Amino acid sequence: MSLVSRPLTCAAALLAALLGALPLAAQGDPSFWRNQPPEQPAAVVVRNATIWTSGPAGRLEGADLLVRSGRIVEVGPGLEAPTGALEIDATGKHVTPGLVDAHNHSAITGGVNEGTDIVTAEVRIADVIDSRSINLYWQLAGGLTTANLLHGSANAIGGQSAVIKLRWGGTPEELLMREAPQAIKFALGENPKQSNWNVDERRYPQTRMGVEQVIRAEFQAALDYRREWQEHRSGRSRDRVPLRRDLRLEAVVEILEGKRDVHSHSYRADEILMLMRVAEDHGFRVKCFQHVLEGYKVADELAAHGAGASTFSDWWAYKYEVIDAIPYNGALMAERGVLVSFNSDDSELARRMNLEAAKAVRYGGLSETAALELVTINPARQIGAGEWIGSLEPGKHADFVVWSGSPLSTYSIVEQTWIDGRRYFDRAHDLEYRQVVAAERAALLAKVRASKEPPPGEEGEDDEEAGAGTGEQPAEAPAEPPAEEPEPEEPQEPPAATRPAARRLP
């Protein structure tokens, strides 16, 4: 409170004078969604930090990080920087790769689930990215730079996912990480079989057996579809009625052809084994199991199949199929050679992924660097982007975070977050700018009051509904997006903005 109320009378007056002249009062406010991207300095050098590379070099003390044109050039001690390079003194500070969340539902508008049909492979998260969501800025402030935006888990084959970089201020298109491969969400168990839904009309399937058969049947339909097209293309007769394109089946064909990775919501060992068998029967591999809370029971099978496992640090007991979850799951799977990450599945948790990683030191005794890799290079590889992000190595995107201390400490905070060699979050600038924002706010409130001066004999009209603002949060702050699950009680939900924050039910 005291931060915003004290010394600002002067600034308010100044800003009031400026308001008319500024083309856009919000320009410059780091928390305003639509800004020009931060400039990309030709070269940046971070000096004398503890650098967690999440790469073969491990953790380096007193090291420098050199960036040119948005790419990492070198990591090591005493680097020579080109003249004019932006120097950041990071003495006593820690630098990590930008954090990566392999399972995120923030910044999706108009519903996270197309939960109607059991297969909705044609729907695309990329069509509905909410680049205005203030979650993006808040997660940036927690060091997150890349998020795998996934469809929900209401149906066996959900929708196509989208990997975004948190290029706050950009349009939805500008957020997309073009290098990442195409992917799709599957879901197994209680959600697709509607165990916890109160629905008027039940949907096939209602059992785990049925979920498997739905997936197999869809693959068969896709194979038939592909064969029809192959025959059609090879046919030469004139005036033949052409085949109709089916976007749902086309997406499933892409899975079978290895052009679309599968990320599958899963909990129990049996369903994990089931999907691996179905995939192997169809000649592909599941890229990554999500949640996978019984993964520790089938860690060897996961490793042999080559599937990644993106799990929770310590969520369990929120429904029957997760009763066997344990916080050692991540460490146990990692020990058996599974590529493991921790994910958020939650807009709030995604602001502190570093602390999720730290729990793997406490539960299971992973080394500190291996623990951090659960939220850097491992999820980057799981989403097929390990070639470009997830570690601080020459040639990779300059996505990095400057921390006040060890990233595994609850006392550490993010000071700067960089993406593509651009400083998207700077805590010092944010704190400083709050005064300007407070002044702007005061000036606007004064303007509202002035416009309400009622003409003689007339009462200013007031609307009860107006003014349902978002408190002090500055920019567009929609209601917290729903957690991944369809609300079991009410599968056909109103749009996210109109309902209370969803229960967290991973």
152 with 224: CB under 8 angstroms? no
In 3D, which of 116, 186, 115, 120 has the Cα closest to residue 154?
115
Residue with Cβ nearer other proteins (72 or 154): 154
96 with 401: CB under 8 angstroms? yes
Distance, in Å, from the CA atom of 215 to the CA atom of 252, rounded to the nearest integer, reads 10
Minimum distance from residue 75 beta carbon to other proteins (Å): 36
Helix (H) or strand (E) holding 174: helix 172-175
Residue with Cβ nearer other proteins (116 or 206): 116
Residue ranges binding other proteins (CB under 8 A): 5, 19, 24-26, 34, 109-117, 120, 122-125, 127-132, 151, 159, 171-173, 238-242, 244-247, 437, 440-442, 444-449, 451-452, 460, 462-463, 466-477, 492, 495
Backbone angles phi, psi at 182, to 5 degrees: -70, 150
C-alpha dihedral sign at 226, 228, 234, 236: negative
In 3D, which of 433, 376, 472, 449 has the Cα closest to residue 11?
433
Residue with Cβ nearer other proteins (33 or 52): 33
Distance, in Å, from the CA atom of 287 to the CA atom of 306, rounded to the nearest integer, reads 7
Residue with Cβ nearer other proteins (39 or 127): 127
Minimum distance from residue 5 beta carbon to other proteins (Å): 7
Minimum distance from residue 124 beta carbon to other proteins (Å): 6
In 3D, which of 203, 180, 201 has the Cα closest to residue 193?
203
Residue with Cβ nearer other proteins (317 or 468): 468
In 3D, which of 191, 196, 221, 224 has the Cα closest to residue 118?
191
Q: Where are the beta strands (DSSP E) in 277-336?
A: 288-291, 308-311
Residue with Cβ nearer other proteins (123 or 377): 123
Minimum distance from residue 378 beta carbon to other proteins (Å): 28
Minimum distance from residue 458 beta carbon to other proteins (Å): 14
The residue type at 377: I
Residue with Cβ nearer other proteins (456 or 467): 467
Going by the DSSP 8-state scheme, the letter that residue 497 receives in this structure is: G
Minimum distance from residue 292 beta carbon to other proteins (Å): 25
Minimum distance from residue 298 beta carbon to other proteins (Å): 32
CB atoms within 10 A of CB 224: 11
